[in-house]
């Protein structure tokens, strides 16, 4: 499945934020934002705290849940992001921006991630905002597979879970008949 910058990169930025396990340093948050093409420059303490709070809100968008619930959560995020999309001509062909150039990094982060998640729900499938099925893992992902049936955040988690299930099956098969 192919996504444009605002669908794919923005949704992946939401995934990166949610999968972070500890509050970021300014350098770590800047690297994360730059990797997803958003706002270079060292964030200050307030920006980091705001991004961490937003991360907690984004987390509710992932995993199995009724469509109405997921859409409600994303609509709340979109409402809070309250941006004014416009077409920009800088750096190549016309493309969409979701906040004014003058908007601060927190506003851009909220607008881009909320819009990216809404793009996945509206133009792909709400079920593509997944949470890893491995019990010991809490990571989230955007399912970009062709058939939309991804269950794990990574191949490593899928293999680890398959080995666990295989070993449990082997232990069950090894019980004596009279036991």
What sign does the dihedral 4-8-111-91 (CA atoms) show?
negative
User: Would the pTM of this model clear 0.75, i.e. be above it?
Assistant: yes
Contacts of 95 (CB under 8 A, 6+ apart): 5, 87, 88
* DSSP letter for each residue of 79-97: HHH----EEE-SSSS-EEE
Q: Provide the residue ranges of all domains of the chain, joining segments of one domain with +.
A: 5-151
Q: Which of 5, 15, 13, 19 is nearest to 128 (CA)?
A: 15
Is there a contact between 111 and 83 (Cβ–Cβ < 8 Å)? yes
Would you state the pLDDT for residue 179? Answer: 54
Per-residue pLDDT of the chain (179 residues; tens, 9 = 90+): 555 555 678 899 999 999 998 889 899 999 988 888 887 788 899 999 999 999 999 999 999 999 999 999 999 999 999 778 888 887 778 877 888 778 888 898 999 999 999 999 999 899 999 999 999 999 999 998 888 899 999 999 999 999 999 999 888 876 665 55
The angle at the Cα of 19, spanning 149 to 81, to the nearest 5 degrees, equals: 95
Would you state the pLDDT for residue 138? Answer: 93
As given in the structure block, the two tokens for residue 68 are: 């109405």
Distance CA 57, CA 60 (A): 6
**Phi and psi based region of residue 162 (left: phi greater than 0; alpha: psi -120 to 50; beta: remaining):** alpha
Domain 5-151 has CATH 1.10.3300.10: yes
Would you state the pLDDT for residue 64? Answer: 94
Is there a contact between 69 and 121 (Cβ–Cβ < 8 Å)? no
């Amino acid at each position: 499945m192919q996504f444009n910058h605002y669908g794919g990169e923005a949704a992946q930025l939401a995934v990166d934020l949610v999968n972070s396990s500890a509050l970021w340093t300014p350098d770590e948050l800047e690297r994360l934002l730059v990797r997803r093409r958003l706002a270079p420059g060292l964030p200050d303490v307030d920006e980091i705290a705001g991004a961490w709070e937003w991360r907690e809100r984004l987390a509710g968008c992932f995993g199995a849940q009724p469509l109405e619930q997921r859409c409600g959560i994303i609509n709340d995020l979109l409402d809070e992001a309250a941006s004014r999309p416009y077409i920009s001509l800088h750096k190549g062909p016309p493309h969409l921006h979701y906040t004014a150039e003058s908007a601060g990094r927190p506003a851009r982060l909220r607008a881009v991630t909320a819009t990216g998640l809404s793009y996945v729900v509206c133009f792909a499938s709400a079920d593509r905002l997944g949470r890893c099925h491995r019990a010991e893992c809490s990571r989230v992902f955007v399912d970009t597979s062709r058939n939309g049936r991804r269950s794990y955040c990574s191949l490593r988690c899928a293999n680890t879970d398959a080995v666990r299930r295989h070993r449990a099956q082997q232990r069950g098969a090894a019980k004596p008949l009279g036991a």
